[in-house]
Structure 1
Amino acid sequence: MTTTQQDRYDHGYDFVVVANRLAVDRVTDEDGTTGWRRSPGGLVTALAPVMAESDGAWVGWHGAADEQLEPFDHADMHLVPVPLSGQEVEDYYEGFANATLWPLYHDVIARPEFHRHWFEAYRRVNRRFAEAAAAVAAEAATVWVQDYQLQLVPQMLRELRPDVTIGFFNHIPFPPPGLFSQLPWRHSVLRGVLGADLIGFQRESDARNFQQAVRHRLGHYIKSDRIHVPADSRATDEGSPLVGFDADPSRGTAARRLSAPTAEDGEHHIAEARAFPISIDTQKIVELAERPDIIARSQQIRRELGDPETVFLGVDRLDYTKGIRHRMKGYEELLQDGDLSVGQACLVQVASPSREGVESYRVLREEIEGTVGRINGEFDTLAHTAIRYLHHSYPVEEMVALYLAADVMLVTALRDGMNLVAKEYVAARKSGTGVLVLSEFTGAADQMRQALLINPHDVDELKAAMVTAATMDPAEARRRMRSLRRQVVSNNVQRWARDFLGRLADLKAAAR
């Protein structure tokens, strides 16, 4: 261990990221030995340079239940594994995070489940993450907490380490107050997030929803995205005799707190809540799209599909929020109506496996695969297939080849925080060809106004957009794509990280 590394172990790290998963994946070599590989996700890509500059630390679960690992270093990052038991994975992750919060935050497309023991596990695991971050952070460090799995961490961390500056980013939508109020532990979640100095959301509407929930449920004074959080409201309900329940903290105090705080109100903390739309590693996608072997692979894909005039492409996690069923229904009706025909058109649907331990996802997979079988059974010919369905995860090189092969990208999510697939498709289309059909219920729709924006619940509108995309004048398609690419190229994931951390640094400096 070098002197610098030993100093970090002794004195902590100036920049700490706290996320549900570590920034690495475990890999097994051909000889059976195991090691670690940096995760390919956009968050890791955006923050890796910051980690290298600051010798940062990343706190997260390493992906294996009932296993404890010591902290270790990998590629300029100090990694702090947080252990989870198999029961905690079931209750905290599959349960509260993905069967309670995920459906609730995605407009209750599926019914959320509310179980007290799930929330108790969520709180217990969040406490463990907060303690790990507190232990590794240097004095006056910057800590950035990521996403809905860890919404209680900011306040827990503030109680443990009031010297650190805390950011929180919510990668998924934040629901309207009427939906959020269904959550039995709504006050605990709001208080948890409000422990941060800066709270980031994908869309302005998400930030407004959060502010309205805070104003309505907690009664805090809000002006210009700045939420004044009184010290007496920041205590958690740890140890309460009503474990798992929330009392209403606003009773008797809301009227006072809805006005600007005064000296009589005593100490208060300011949390700023605003939008910071995330993006992609644009340069990486562009470089891959220019590689001769990937261009050749895209041409091979079209030949394997029978060289149709129009290749429609959908790329999603197999999730009920993605609108895959709506997309297939629209495509099926176009075939039935004769507006499209097999051979002239083909739909390629990549549906990567997702949360297969959650019952609603198993049901969705069976339904989607049944729909694909029925449509292909009715419309396939000996030479061509109607839908090429791929229930796999693919490396980014194959995904870029698919983007190049596709004439029309279908993003029909019913609710999505951002949807980075839409941005990846546009980044890959350097030639200026291709058309993006984009749900207005994605965060990407706020920025990508030159796409064909649709309401995916309106199947007739979806069908019309698919036909328009397939028959669009090439000059019009190039005009739209050039505009989309300018937006995506100038707003990459590195800029997102710089904008968020720059604002957090400004708040830190102002608080001195």
Structure 2
Amino acid sequence: MSAAADFVVVANRLPVDRGDDDADPWRRSPGGLVTALEPVVRSTGGAWVGWAGQPGLEIEPFEFDGVHLVPVALSAEDIAQYYEGFSNDTIWPLYHDVIAAPTYHRTWWEAYVRVNRRFAEAAAAAAGDGATVWVHDYQLQLVPRMLRELRPDLVIGYFHHIPFPAYGIFSQLPWRTQVLDGLLGADVIGFQRVADAGNFARAVRRRFGYETRAGSIRVPTDGGHRTAVAKAYPISIDTASYEELARRPEIQARAAEIREELGNPGAVLLGVDRLDYTKGIRHRLKAVGELFDEERLGAGDATLVQVASPSRERVAAYMQLRDEIELAVGRINGDHDTMGFTAVRYLHHSYPREEMVALYLAADVMLVTALRDGMNLVAKEYVASRVDGGGVLVLSEFAGAADELTQAVRVNPHDIEGLKDAVMTAIEMPAEERRRRMRALRRRVRDNDVAAWSARFLGDLRAVREGRA
């Protein structure tokens, strides 16, 4: 196959994971981004540029399931400085409203520049004349500008999967000018929320003085100017796949089995998160613990199932967070468990999608208490899975999903008293109100699935491309 692809996706990771089977070493990665974009890449004869997931792994481009994959090699030092360092210990906490303190190291920034250039060069080599390139997420914010310098013929999109902070926070970044300039290399810059797009436009005005109006930015060029689109494209999930799983008899039987394993409490509360300080897990535990302390909940009334999948386990802040959460769980259970009842069932594992859908069906109340979240697709997964029309979603107003899922019980997770009241409201909600709210939520998620998200973004990129023809 020719390396000159008409459509190229650039992301930190390839859409495959490397396994141990020498005869069949690659397997498809789970996740909504892969589900949304892989069919587009395949149908256009396109390419996907990304890291193969293992340090020091240098392999040639290869085909997988009809998709041309272009691996970018990263050393152990690259991963430590560009990924664990600048991406996840500088950008991640800064962009999540400094919930944890970001760390600024010049060597990390230098690694970030170096690795972004490597991705840009790989994408430039893979793209055909006048191709469309779609860059993804905060690890690669410099790639759009680098690509434009390498290949001015390309149409370039960028989608930002996490929040973009207000200027008072963003301006703390020593390399703020370079990051903004990097993003402005794109023709279409997408964000999860209208507020994020507004924060980006304000940062551009403050740093560069460029004219911004109604989702467009006037960017100077050597020959005059060009217009970059910067607006919200809220991401979603493959709704149909969750609905299909939730209708399977064996999944529904597993949901009933889960409730039985929990001792058939009056209500099953569920939290599903990466183990991350932005997700509000500590606030959730504090609220539930106090409900038991105050006897608003008693033994058998409710059990919280908290799934906290491992995340960035070599980063000190995450190691400390795990210790704090496990200590809180131990205290609640020590105070309130009986021989036949557990207040909090804590699961530090990742689970396959089938088990997650069974958990969603088993849960009377889904608690999404993020302190700051780009979107929070778990909230949408729960809604999509509730084909029975039951369940109540308690949703943080600081999650991007709150803009769309307005029939959820909205909470400020910092307000522990308010969070406690919301949990009780959800538990005690009349069945008819539950069904009414869930019908509206399901309609919203079904009408705005991941295919609609990618089609909208790619449609705007197509308009740029046609305007140049």
* TM-score past 0.5 threshold: yes
Q: How does 1:176-187 map to 2 (within 5 A)?
A: 176-187=166-177
* Alignment match, 1:161: 151
* Alignment match, 1:486: 443
> AA paired with 1:500?
F
* Alignment match, 1:274: 231
Q: Is 2:41 the partner of 1:84?
A: no
> AA paired with 1:417?
G
From 434, 453, 461, the counterpart of 1:496: 453
Deviation at 1:38, TM superposition (A): 1.3
Q: How does 1:331-350 map to 2 (within 5 A)?
A: 331-350=288-307
* Alignment match, 1:191: 181
Deviation at 1:85, TM superposition (A): 0.6
Deviation at 1:33, TM superposition (A): 4.9
From 16, 19, 28, the counterpart of 2:11: 19
* Alignment match, 2:103: 113
Root-mean-square deviation over aligned CA pairs: 0.9
Deviation at 1:510, TM superposition (A): 1.6
Moved more, 340-349 or 158-167: 340-349
> AA paired with 1:388?
R
Could you say what secondary structure the match of 1:211 adopts?
helix
Q: How does 1:214-363 map to 2 (within 5 A)?
A: 214-231=204-221, 266-363=223-320
Q: Distance in 2 between matches of 1:135 and 1:205?
A: 35
Q: Is 2:60 the partner of 1:60?
A: no
Listed one character per residue, the Cα deviations across residues 170-206 of structure 1 (whole Å, up to 9, x for unaligned) are: 0000000000000000000000000000000000000
Deviation at 1:511, TM superposition (A): 2.9
Could you say what secondary structure the match of 1:335 adopts?
helix
Tell me, yes or no, if the aligned pair for 1:156 and 1:195 is still in contact at 8 Å: yes
> AA paired with 1:26?
R
Deviation at 1:28, TM superposition (A): 2.4
Tell me, yes or no, if the aligned pair for 1:26 and 1:34 is still in contact at 8 Å: no
> AA paired with 2:41?
M
Structure 1 residues 511 and 452: CA distance shift in structure 2, 3 A:
same
Q: Distance in 1 between matches of 2:214 and 2:302?
A: 50
Aligned length: 469
Q: Is 2:84 the partner of 1:94?
A: yes
* Alignment match, 2:332: 375
Could you say what secondary structure the match of 1:28 adopts?
coil
Q: Distance in 2 between matches of 1:98 and 1:40?
A: 21
Structure 2: state its 5+ residue gaps. Answer: none
Deviating beyond 4 angstroms after TM superposition, the runs of 4 or more aligned structure 1 residues are none
> AA paired with 2:54?
A
Q: Distance in 1 between matches of 2:248 and 2:19?
A: 26
> AA paired with 2:362?
A
Could you say what secondary structure the match of 1:68 adopts?
coil
Q: Distance in 1 between matches of 2:299 and 2:83?
A: 42
Listed one character per residue, the Cα deviations across residues 14-48 of structure 1 (whole Å, up to 9, x for unaligned) are: 0000000001111224xx65511111110010011
Q: Is 2:20 the partner of 1:28?
A: yes
Could you say what secondary structure the match of 2:157 adopts?
strand
Over alpha carbons, which structure has the higher Rg? 1
Deviation at 1:376, TM superposition (A): 0.7
Deviation at 1:342, TM superposition (A): 2.4
* Alignment match, 2:392: 435
Could you say what secondary structure the match of 1:135 adopts?
helix
Tell me, yes or no, if the aligned pair for 1:451 and 1:480 is still in contact at 8 Å: yes
TM-score of the aligned structures, taking structure 2 as reference length:
0.99
Q: Is 2:43 the partner of 1:43?
A: no
Q: Distance in 2 between matches of 1:52 and 1:87?
A: 33
Q: Distance in 1 between matches of 2:352 and 2:269?
A: 20
Tell me, yes or no, if the aligned pair for 1:154 and 1:168 is still in contact at 8 Å: yes
Alignment identity in percent?
64
* Alignment match, 1:459: 416
Listed one character per residue, the Cα deviations across residues 283-303 of structure 1 (whole Å, up to 9, x for unaligned) are: 000000001111111110000
TM-score of the aligned structures, taking structure 1 as reference length:
0.91
* Alignment match, 1:255: none
Q: Distance in 1 between matches of 2:146 and 2:161?
A: 20
